[in-house]
Structure 1
Amino acid sequence: MVGSSHEALHRIFQKDPAVLTKALQRVLHVPFPEPREIAALNVDLTEIEPVERRVDTLMRAETDEGTYLLVVESQGKVDDRKRGSWPYYLAYLYEKYRCEPVLIVITQSSTTAKWASRPIRFGFRDWHSMTVRPLVLGPDNVPMITDERWGERDPSLAVLSAMTHGQGPQAPAILESLVAILKTIDADTASVYAQFVDSCLTNAQAKQMWRDLMTTVQYFWRHPLAEQVRAEGREEGREEGREEGREEGREEGRIQTSQAMVLRLLEWRRIPVPDTVRARIEACTDVSQLETWAERAVHAADAGDLFTGE
């Protein structure tokens, strides 16, 4: 004798699995396709082994209309595994917090943005049991902010511009303008923004350029990330100059960092660097002069523009 309604349903569907599809077609008038074969599967959904799953950023937003979870994913490339993991994240977070989750995808790739913006639908034709619609921020819908005067009106949008355009040809101008913009706001907020940009820049060159700008360009503010990078530079300088003295080693480290930044900016913007220009940069030991050249490298049409007026 069947002991519960759950067990009764299970027995009925095991005996005649077609009952389900017939009910969909004849009772609910849903156009479920005619199955060729139906097999019963294990009903136990318990996860025996813990599997680590993390979202990039999770925040709770209290609004007049209710409480929402903002689930932020930084996506570098197309990854079809997200078709399964993103719906899982949202379902799990709703079950845990009982708040409506909102998925936001941030990417620096137009191709990835188009892929991520496609709805993820589970079910069959004309009837979806679940639909996940990510909100996508990418290079095609986020403005490119290279003018610090424009960005000062909305620093957060300038930060988003750096995050979504951080690997394009305009990256040097975007990152340089952002450094200037962050100097105009309070130090605590600037610190948060600076570290957020650093963590979201997926391109290694862009990340290094961002750190170089914060540590060597003249408009620079104090914050934990900059202090960390500066400390790393001091340590490198000490190692390289230990035989000649700690102070000389630190200065040598600053000079080499500044020289490398000028060359990186030119290479990032795909500007050819003649041997004569490279030799002049590598021979310069004046950090202030190297910082001036770095600023010019952001807008230079060719490598020779670094030395205009000299």
Structure 2
Amino acid sequence: MPSADHELPIALLKDQPALAPELLQAVSGIKPPECEHIGLGSDSFTDNYPTEYRADTVVILGEPKRPDLAIVVENQLRPDPRKRFVWPVYLSTLRARRECPVTLLVLCPDKATSAWCRMPIETGHEGWALRPWVLNLAEAPAITDVEKARALPELAILCTPANADGPHQREVLTAFAEALEVTDRDRGSKYHDYVRSKLSEAARDCLEEIMQADVYEWKSDFALKYIAEGKAESLFTVLKSHGFAIDDELRRRITACTDPQQLDIWTGRVAKAQTLGEIFD
């Protein structure tokens, strides 16, 4: 079963195909053609024989019927000698199908896998060697520009784990939070959980502080839900510290509240209250 480490970066690309040329330019220095249309292509390269060749994803730049460039994107978690035979198949088949330039972009989690993927693939024909463009996600560029994070949130999400403990931690995590702000609730929750699982305890604490800070006016459903969850946990802690018992019904009521302001009101009443009714009625 594919792991989250494999599936989440590919999901980001499928959610936002414009991420592919951005990453390609970052690792190759080559500026892809500027196209109004950037979309997904078929990732299946089946021929007339039983063998099926399937890439992780394919991004098409330009008009689908007359593309300017096609990018095959692979997320390679570890060396796999078989890929040195199938990657050239992906490119040659896609080039024949689309009749356009093609290139290969490989995402890797570490230096060793990146070095293996960068090795030229000699096809046997003189002068014909495939040299994949490779991005080591552990060295992904830091995204600290809030406007860029909001314009291309998938880029900020993909690059956050590598930079969350760097010298610009707060800026990186703020950009990540802003990226989630413009991402719909279901995807935002999925991406948040994935990135958070990659963060150190210090980075998680910093992200929590940013999301709960009053200086930011978060508006998305995901952000408000996340903030409410944090405030609910704080309310539970305050209630317990003042000796109030929390039964299942009260826990459900607090947990179900998605209004951060209401949670703040309840929390503010605790210090002077003698009964739960004075807090919640």
Which of the five TM-score ranges fits, normalised by the shorter chain?
0.3 to 0.5
Higher RCO, 1 vs 2 (CA within 8 Å, ≥6 residues apart): 2
Tell me the TM-score normalised to structure 2 length. Answer: 0.47
Larger of the two Rg values belongs to structure: 1
Q: TM-score, normalised by structure 1?
A: 0.43
